[in-house]
Amino acid sequence: MDLALAEARAAFDLDEVPIGAVVVRGDEVLARGHNRVRTDVDPTAHAEILAIREAARISGDKRLVGATVFTTVEPCFMCAGALVHARVERVVWAVRDPKFGGAVSLGQVLDHPGANHRVEYCEGVRAAEAAELLRSFFRSKREAARRDPP
């Protein structure tokens, strides 16, 4: 989770929503990523998607069997779906996303009984740090909006 939090801080520094993700298999870090939605002008450039894409490219396989993804925020529906499609074994996240979370908050994509693969998950790892990073980011956005109204 240290690496995922470092990626989240990199996103913060780029004025992106501070979410980071890392794909690990065994003792090997396959890939890492952070949100680049604004930077890339791409609504799919979420940390998990970018890390999954890179891990698949590096491993040479569209399936990430045996991999664990560490992410600072509960995956959204899109990212949770990508985790299932990639056959990731497990995902570990820090904080829930009550407005977009597709794993437990708004949906159960990772372990839906109708899906052809289920992803194990664990939540709450380093939650305080991830939550504070998100609070700081959105606080700065609100303060900027008050200073410089549209």
Encoding tokens for residue 81?
């779906």
48 tagged catalytic: yes
Alpha carbons 130 and 146: distance in angstroms, whole number: 25
The active-site residue out of 48, 74, 89, 132 is 48
CA angle, 54 then 122 then 133, to 5°: 70
Q: Which helix (H) or strand (E) holds 85?
A: helix 77-85
Q: Which amino acid is at 40?
A: D
Longest dimension (CA), the chain: 50
Which residues are part of the catalytic machinery? 48
